[in-house]
Amino acid sequence: MPSIRITCPGCAATYAVPEAQARPDRLVRCAGCTMEWLPFELPPPAPDAEAPPVDVTPPEPSRSIAASLQLHAAATDEVVEAPAGQAGPELVDPEEPDWSDAELPQFDLPAPITHATGPAAPSPPPVPPSRETRWRAAWAASVLLLAMAGAGSVHWREPIMLRWPPSTRLYAAFGNAHMPRAATAEMVAPRAASAISSKPSKISPVGVSE
């Protein structure tokens, strides 16, 4: 039986292997160095057969199609001239249609919604003012009342002094005691009358000496 010689790549030992056992996918082990390798190479793959070239040239049109194309080209290139002395066709602008008598289509529109169909949402309860806000409002009202009272007492000081004479001292303390002359006369007249009535009078007869 014929054999094939193989050589170990590790220790260069040579072995004779029968051809029946020489397969490309079979590992062999060296008896000296115990190295395993594939002694038989796989056959190279066969080259693929080349595909035939594809002809990309468009097919020629048939005779009937070519003849129809030539007739169409000849018809489009032909120009018909009007005979001498005859005018060509008159061009007329198209008239706009009269829409004055046209009836417009009627559409049934839904009735407008004037009020809400569902119940209205309840309004949120008013937020009560805080204590600090109430105090500020009270202070502002007090200051406003005092300012109004002071302005009124200055504006109507003469009637007040006529009605209440002791208020003259208060106005004099602030430099506003300017009473009118009529009021001064009315206040002085009673004092003069009371002084005259309280003083005793001595009347002696004429020509009689005490």
| Per-residue pLDDT reduced to its tens digit, 47-79 | 655 666 666 676 665 666 666 666 666 555 555
Contact 154, 176 (CB under 8 A): yes
Residue in the block written with tokens 């009358």: 193
Q: Tokens for 99?
A: 């829409």
- Tell me the pLDDT band of 188, cut-offs 50, 70 and 90: very low
| Alpha carbon 175 to its chain's center | 65
Exposed / middle / buried, residue 48 (Cβ in 10 Å: 0-12, 13-18, 19+): exposed
Beta strand 14-18 with 28-29 is: unpaired
Enter the pTM of the model. 0.26
| Alpha carbon 8 to its chain's center | 84
